[in-house]
Chain A
Amino acid sequence: MTARKSGSRLETEIERCRSEAQWDKIPELVRQLSAKLISNDDLGELLLGECKLQTYLKENPIKQGASPRGPRPKLVEVRKHLTAALDRGNLKADYIQEASLLMAKLCYVEGEYRDALDHYNRVNLDDMQLVGAPVYRLSMIAEAYATKGLCLEKVPASSPSLSNKNTGSPSSNRSTTEREQEIITCYEKSGDIALLYLQEAEKALSAGIQNRSPKPGPTAPDQELGYFLETGLQRAHVIHFKNGNLTQGVGRFREILRAVETRTTQNLRMTIARQLAEILLRGMCEQSYWSPLEDPPTVSPLDDPTRQGHTHSKNYSLSRRPRVYSGENLFCPQENTEEALLLLLISESMANRDAVLSRIPEHNNDRIISLQSASVVYDLLTIALGRRGQYEMLSECLERAMKFAFEEFHLWYQLALSLMAAGKSARAVKVLKECIRLKPDDPTIPLLAVKLCIGPLHWLDEGECFGKMVIDMGEKAAEFRAKGYLAIGLVYSLKATDASLRSTQEDYQRKALGAFQRAQSLSPTDHLAAFYLALQLAVSRQIPEALGYVRQALQLQGDDVHSLHLLALLLSAQKHYHDALNIIEMALSEYPENFNLLYTKVKLESMCRGPEEALLTCKHMLQIWKSFYNLTNPSDSGRGSSLLDRAIADRRQLNAMTLPDFSDPETGSVHATSIAASRVEQALSEVASSLQSSAPKHGPLHPWMTLAQIWLHAAEVYISMSKPAEASACTQEAANLFPTSHNVLYMKGQIAELRGNIDEAKRWYEEALSINPTHVKTMQRLGLILHQLQRYSLSEKVLRDAVQVNSTAHDVWNSLGEVLQAQGNAAAATECFLTALELEASSPILPFTIIPRAL
């Protein structure tokens, strides 16, 4: 700085240094200034006083909550400078104001609150110009308001001389109210001006950078707000909340958040956004909500009723306000969850940005801080999105939290749960594995994994592993131990259904039975244990024992739909068809829309009451189906307005898919060979459940599958009535939905048989088998036709294959016997007939396995 700066440039430089808080440069500039003109001495005193005061405050920052007291030796000099500046009275009016403000600030720092207030009253802060003021002065005014507020809080209200506006003598209560109002107004003005100052400062800074050399100087230090501005920005809402004045506090939060952000306010915004979201989620409801652009309600349940009279209304205006977000089509939330969500997404983006990635020990603390602030946000996001059932979106948010998640159980677990809730089962299992690693003692986690493995994924081997984990925990698993046995029993039970070798099948059935028995003895009050034990016994055709346990299950849980269904099937196995039908009707009175029960009802009705009744039930099912799925649902306005429309859009894909077996052993759960079909089913169910949370969770999963099944059931009834035309029409309806389903093809084969077209029937059956080679019923019919065509050995082969797939199908054994007899193998034939006879005695009207097995 060799060259003397010209007056105006020097002044600009001083202004810049004051705005950018570069106090260390001031003394040198003052020296240059006083060298120029003698009348500048007073200004010099002002500047020196200011810079010494600011430097002192920087070195001895005032802490929140601590109040300054007593004169400080270091500040004596400051007072000298400022007194000198003020006393001579040569300063311009603006500078006199500045000097007074600094003097007041000094008084506050020294604990002389009354003196400070006197200074403020002399200056009259409200008269200070905001328009056209240099940036540093905005900060000064903001600080002055904050300091005034602080002083007013310290000085008891009783001394009337201090309240400059209120000279009358109203009741003391009234005056405290007005005092409070005055304090809050001071802080709110301070906050508003502080925001304005920060916006202007940032503008000036970026302008400065652009004007100066392309190479920016040393990057400007992060602006720090300091005690007074921090207080000014936050004290108003703190007081509101302390007073139980939620409406006003929320209003103040919103004002701060609506102001365009600056770098310095980013952290403040993040905190406030999170706090406001907390209030919206914890303290508000839809009915007490008002949107940010509306006026708050005059009476609100949010405010402390004992202080109802104390509500303040904002009653000041500033000549210049901070810039707020504006523009066309601004999104403005209309509901508390919406606003909370918006705020949380903003906080999340900031919290995410601050994620400390380095894992070196020195940054441990930083990491913990960043993790904490992020997990608070993610927890709140979970609460908000969970309330609205938006698990899909939640799982995506939580995925973003993974950069914090190393070794953090809570985040991993929440991600796993959200994936599970969003129906992303395969990923959920993978994440659950990590959770198990982090918390190996918690039995819930492997159980959740088994639930997915058994259910949508059909990963039985994995499921077995998880189930064993729970069992291996032993006593530690406490109440979950029984659940563990239940889970592993289900895995074995499903494996038994999948197994193609009879010995493995029996092995798994035995294991399943053992596990269920264990579960039942561990938790005798759990109806599920008794129920699955009964179901397993039923599958292995131990009908009387199964009946005993299903009764037990029903005693524990009288209206459990699956237990009732099983009871009906067991009764049908004992050929008590009327009793079974009664049970089904009773169950239907509690579950009128359960299609699984209705299918069984159709079968039983055609058995007991004749096909006409059964047809009526089919018609009823179609009506239910329509009322169930025909409700318009504008949730995905872009993608079609109802579940039906949506489903129609899916039809294109559906054509390429097969209808899963319905009245087959494989229906309730998935058979290994029809896994492809099950994947389809799973995919569709995910589509359906993502549509709306209230989508039916039970029964067949996709509306179109249900519809096709209803048509096929009707077709079956017509076939039993020997009405090929009607049966054919029904089948055609199903075929329109699922042209390549083996069930449709099988039905077509049956109709052809009914019409006497053996060759055509054979062709249909062969087509059905080419789609699903393990469809037992088709194999049986094909075997019979081959028998009629006198191709015995081929027929025998087909039937033996069928028996291999399902050894409890009595009609297959019967057909096999007939073929063997025709081939002259009387001994083997007899054995087959005996087996058929024996199996028939315990055969239910529909296979037991149509009852779903899930945890």
Chain B
Amino acid sequence: MLAMDQGVVEDWLSEFKTLPDSAVFSYATSLKDKGALVPALYKVIRENYSDLLEPVCHQLFEFYRSGEPQLQRFTLQFLPELLWSLLSVSAARDPHTSGCIEALLLGIYNLEIVDKDGQSKVLSFTVPSLSKPSVYHEPSAIGSMALTEGALATHGLSRVVYSGPHLQRETFTAQNRFEVLTFLLLCYNAALSYMTATSLQSLCQLSSRVCICGYPRQQMRRYKGISTRLTVTSEFLVQLITGIHYALCNGEVELGSKALDDVLYRAQLELFPEALLVGNAIKSSLHSAALKSNNKEGARSIQVEITPTSSRISRNAVTSLSIRGHRWKRHDAVDLGSPDELMDISEVDEGVWPSGVGPDMTPPTITISNSVTTLNLGAKAMKKCRLSGRTSKDKDKEAGPLTAGRAASENTELAIKRLTLTTSQSVPKAGALTSLTRTASAVFSRSFEQVASNNAPPSSNHNASEAGRYSCSLQEEGLGYLSPTPNHTQRSPSISVHLGSDF
């Protein structure tokens, strides 16, 4: 360590002590201008045995405790370096334990886990839900949402805790080490935008080293420090990845991608699904971004270009949206001529439901119009395929108020082949699948429920023979669950399949 550096650090150590409270803010702002200070402090932390380490750690803690955000960030920028110092010493089983670094880190941790009143702090966030209006959307425009257990559980907005409450810690043990360090990284990540390039580089280095030390890859990276393996936890790696992601996108492309690779390598060896998940996602998203723009422009890789606003998907491809235009509903088996008419009728039906005939027995009918001979239910055909059935009036009433609102909103979207719904046909799924059902369910995934009637109709068409009856419930799933009507089983299904050859 050069005498000059030492001088800079010593000056810094003495300055703050004599500072009146009122001058803290301006002092914090002026810290940026001390160019030689930060590198000198890095040196102190790296050289574990420096006499200055203890006063420096103490001072950094004082900064953190002052509560002044700028001073706190000043301390935080050294966090990656401090973490590495702590981990490498503990891995090397160095008798010179870095007590003051431990104390500093524990001090920050214990400050951060409580709020201003000394109560345990919990960090939480709200999981947004598309079913509630937000500043960016209106639920009615979103269309169908899969009705899953999870979706029901988080219906509305629920706050979810992602960290805390945490216990106060007086010492580092093998058991709590990573819990504390993970939390510290979380604090660091919360201030990422304020971190300097040096700090981000240090974070990338920390990540690489923690992950590869003691593994064959260490030789590849030519890192000659300690060579014992360091234990890590999946959560710790996820927090590291979050920081690396920021570094990658904000100038540290080379170090960042190296670090990401190393973390993924370790996550694979440890079989940590969480870290693999997030790491893979980052890699894949950056990969596609890199494909889009090859220019490595400047420090930030946040670029935006003017993009064409029209859909890039050709209009005659069958998409989830276009296939929704086909109403799979129960209705007297109406034979429809052309696809256009089909649309019209769907729209007319929107508000007024044809009154059902009740649970009478209708023999199953399968009408195949347009003289298509094979039931080729490829996606193309699906587009023209329509199953209709009969619904009962009483159920419709139950569903009435809810449908009305939606129907109104859908009126504006007539031109879109938008999902229109038979409200009341879903019943908890049961029963056999046929090839038709399978095709359909593969295509729609969860978009509809299959209902198999116990009295499978005798049918000339094997495709529909066991399927019984489908109901497509894209928007009103909830209703289906709420009003399962036993008389479903009484009525036999009628399916009319429309196949067009013009698509």
Is B truly associated with A?
yes
Give residues in A with beta carbon < 8 Å to B: 64, 202, 206, 209-210, 214-216, 219-220, 222, 224-225, 230-231, 233-235, 237-238, 241-242, 244, 246, 249, 257-258, 260-261, 263-265, 267-268, 271, 273, 275, 278-279, 281-288, 292-293, 300-302, 324-325, 327, 329-335, 337-338, 341-343, 345-346, 349, 352-360, 363, 365-367, 369-370, 372, 375-376, 378-380, 382-383, 386-394, 396, 399-400, 402-403, 410, 413-414, 417-418, 420-421, 444, 447-448, 451, 479-480, 483, 525, 527, 556-561, 589-594, 627, 631-635, 637-638, 692-694, 855
Among residues of B, the one whose C-beta sits closest to the C-beta of A337 is B125
> Is A244 in contact with B300, judged by CB distance below 8 angstroms?
yes
8 Å CB contacts to A: which residues of B196-230? 214-216, 228-229
Among residues of B, the one whose C-beta sits closest to the C-beta of A559 is B174
Bound together, the chains give a CA A277 to CA B116 distance in angstroms of 31
> Is A331 in contact with B323, judged by CB distance below 8 angstroms?
no
> Is A349 in contact with B273, judged by CB distance below 8 angstroms?
no
> Is B281 in contact with A633, judged by CB distance below 8 angstroms?
no
Among residues of A, the one whose C-beta sits closest to the C-beta of B283 is A379
> Is A390 in contact with B160, judged by CB distance below 8 angstroms?
yes
Among residues of B, the one whose C-beta sits closest to the C-beta of A287 is B191
> Is B126 in contact with A357, judged by CB distance below 8 angstroms?
no
> Is B314 in contact with A363, judged by CB distance below 8 angstroms?
yes
Residues of A within 8 A of B126 (CB): 331, 333-334, 338
Does B294 sit within 8 A of A, measured CB to CB? Answer: no
B456 to chain A, nearest CB (A): 27
Does B277 sit within 8 A of A, measured CB to CB? Answer: yes
Size bracket, chain B contacts: 35 or more
Residues of A within 8 A of B310 (CB): 222, 224-225, 267
Residues of B within 8 A of A389 (CB): 162, 235, 238, 274
Q: Which of B93, B160, B246, B414 contacts A285 (CB 8 A)?
A: B246
> Is A346 in contact with B137, judged by CB distance below 8 angstroms?
yes
A244 to chain B, nearest CB (A): 7
Residues of A within 8 A of B338 (CB): none
29 contacts between A and B (CB under 8 A): A234-B304, A273-B136, A282-B302, A286-B190, A302-B193, A330-B134, A331-B157, A332-B135, A333-B134, A335-B125, A343-B136, A345-B129, A349-B130, A353-B320, A353-B321, A363-B318, A390-B127, A392-B150, A399-B446, A417-B276, A417-B277, A418-B273, A480-B269, A483-B271, A558-B93, A590-B175, A635-B160, A637-B159, A694-B235
Does B163 sit within 8 A of A, measured CB to CB? Answer: yes
Bound together, the chains give a CA A313 to CA B239 distance in angstroms of 36
User: Which of the listed residues B174, B348, B415 has the most CB atoms from chain A within 10 Å of its own CB?
Assistant: B174
> Is B318 in contact with A358, judged by CB distance below 8 angstroms?
yes
Residues of A within 8 A of B189 (CB): 285-286
Among residues of B, the one whose C-beta sits closest to the C-beta of A405 is B445
> Is A360 in contact with B445, judged by CB distance below 8 angstroms?
no
Among residues of B, the one whose C-beta sits closest to the C-beta of A401 is B445
Does B308 sit within 8 A of A, measured CB to CB? Answer: yes
> Is A383 in contact with B273, judged by CB distance below 8 angstroms?
no
Beyond A288-B193, A358-B378, A366-B314, whether A64 also contacts B273 by CB under 8 A is no
Bound together, the chains give a CA A242 to CA B250 distance in angstroms of 14
Give residues in B with beta carbon < 8 Å to A: 69, 93, 120, 122, 124-130, 132-138, 141-143, 145-146, 148, 150-151, 154, 157-167, 173-175, 179, 189-194, 214-216, 228-229, 231, 235, 238, 242, 245-246, 249-250, 268-269, 271, 273-274, 276-278, 280-282, 284-285, 288, 298, 300-314, 317-321, 323, 344, 348, 378-380, 382, 411-416, 443, 445-446
Give the 5 A-B residue pairs with the shortest CB-CB distance, closest first.
Answer: A635-B161, A358-B379, A382-B281, A386-B278, A288-B193
Among residues of B, the one whose C-beta sits closest to the C-beta of A416 is B273
Bound together, the chains give a CA A778 to CA B274 distance in angstroms of 42
User: Which of the listed residues B129, B145, B280, B285 has the most CB atoms from chain A within 10 Å of its own CB?
Assistant: B285
Dominant SS at the A interface?
Answer: helix
Beyond A343-B136, A556-B229, A634-B161, whether A383 also contacts B278 by CB under 8 A is yes
Bound together, the chains give a CA A265 to CA B310 distance in angstroms of 8
Residues of A within 8 A of B151 (CB): 396
Beyond A358-B380, A525-B214, whether A448 also contacts B306 by CB under 8 A is no
Residues of A within 8 A of B382 (CB): 357
Residues of A within 8 A of B323 (CB): 357
Bound together, the chains give a CA A202 to CA B409 distance in angstroms of 13
> Is A285 in contact with B229, judged by CB distance below 8 angstroms?
no
Bound together, the chains give a CA A435 to CA B231 distance in angstroms of 28
> Is B271 in contact with A855, judged by CB distance below 8 angstroms?
yes
> Is B411 in contact with A379, judged by CB distance below 8 angstroms?
no
Beyond A396-B151, A400-B146, A590-B175, whether A231 also contacts B313 by CB under 8 A is no
User: Which of the listed residues A300, A331, A632, A693 has the most CB atoms from chain B within 10 Å of its own CB?
Assistant: A331
> Is A346 in contact with B378, judged by CB distance below 8 angstroms?
no
Q: Which of A265, A325, A383, A592 contacts B133 (CB 8 A)?
A: A325
User: Which of the listed residues A237, A265, A631 has the most CB atoms from chain B within 10 Å of its own CB?
Assistant: A631
> Is A375 in contact with B273, judged by CB distance below 8 angstroms?
no
> Is A220 in contact with B307, judged by CB distance below 8 angstroms?
no
> Is B163 in contact with A694, judged by CB distance below 8 angstroms?
yes
Among residues of B, the one whose C-beta sits closest to the C-beta of A389 is B162
Beyond A241-B304, A271-B307, A386-B274, whether A285 also contacts B190 by CB under 8 A is yes
Beyond A338-B128, A391-B274, whether A209 also contacts B414 by CB under 8 A is yes
> Is B305 in contact with A238, judged by CB distance below 8 angstroms?
yes
> Is B173 in contact with A590, judged by CB distance below 8 angstroms?
yes
Residues of B within 8 A of A392 (CB): 150
Q: Which of B175, B242, B249, B318 contacts A357 (CB 8 A)?
A: B318
Residues of B within 8 A of A235 (CB): 306
Q: Which of A210, A483, A527, A638 contacts B158 (CB 8 A)?
A: A638
B457 to chain A, nearest CB (A): 28
Among residues of B, the one whose C-beta sits closest to the C-beta of A451 is B271
Q: Which of A234, A286, A592, A638 contacts B173 (CB 8 A)?
A: A592
Bound together, the chains give a CA A293 to CA B282 distance in angstroms of 29
> Is A233 in contact with B309, judged by CB distance below 8 angstroms?
yes
> Is B135 in contact with A694, judged by CB distance below 8 angstroms?
no
Residues of B within 8 A of A448 (CB): 271, 273
B79 to chain A, nearest CB (A): 14
Bound together, the chains give a CA A29 to CA B173 distance in angstroms of 86
Q: Which of B120, B130, B309 contacts A230 (CB 8 A)?
A: B309
Residues of A within 8 A of B300 (CB): 244, 283
Residues of B within 8 A of A300 (CB): 193
Bound together, the chains give a CA A390 to CA B93 distance in angstroms of 36
> Is A282 in contact with B246, judged by CB distance below 8 angstroms?
yes
> Is B317 in contact with A447, judged by CB distance below 8 angstroms?
no
Bound together, the chains give a CA A458 to CA B300 distance in angstroms of 48
> Is B320 in contact with A592, judged by CB distance below 8 angstroms?
no
A369 to chain B, nearest CB (A): 5
Q: Which of B138, B158, B307, B321 contacts A260 (CB 8 A)?
A: B138
> Is B229 in contact with A525, judged by CB distance below 8 angstroms?
yes
Bound together, the chains give a CA A393 to CA B151 distance in angstroms of 8
> Is A331 in contact with B128, judged by CB distance below 8 angstroms?
yes
Bound together, the chains give a CA A327 to CA B137 distance in angstroms of 11
Bound together, the chains give a CA A13 to CA B466 distance in angstroms of 55
B345 to chain A, nearest CB (A): 11
> Is B309 in contact with A283, judged by CB distance below 8 angstroms?
no
A246 to chain B, nearest CB (A): 7
> Is A369 in contact with B229, judged by CB distance below 8 angstroms?
no
Bound together, the chains give a CA A746 to CA B7 distance in angstroms of 72
> Is B412 in contact with A275, judged by CB distance below 8 angstroms?
no
Among residues of A, the one whose C-beta sits closest to the C-beta of B280 is A414
Among residues of B, the one whose C-beta sits closest to the C-beta of A555 is B228
Among residues of B, the one whose C-beta sits closest to the C-beta of A373 is B312
Residues of A within 8 A of B191 (CB): 285-287
Bound together, the chains give a CA A304 to CA B242 distance in angstroms of 22
Residues of A within 8 A of B269 (CB): 479-480, 483
> Is A282 in contact with B273, judged by CB distance below 8 angstroms?
no
> Is A342 in contact with B134, judged by CB distance below 8 angstroms?
yes
> Is A278 in contact with B302, judged by CB distance below 8 angstroms?
yes
> Is A267 in contact with B138, judged by CB distance below 8 angstroms?
no
Bound together, the chains give a CA A399 to CA B145 distance in angstroms of 13
Among residues of A, the one whose C-beta sits closest to the C-beta of B190 is A286
Bound together, the chains give a CA A210 to CA B414 distance in angstroms of 10
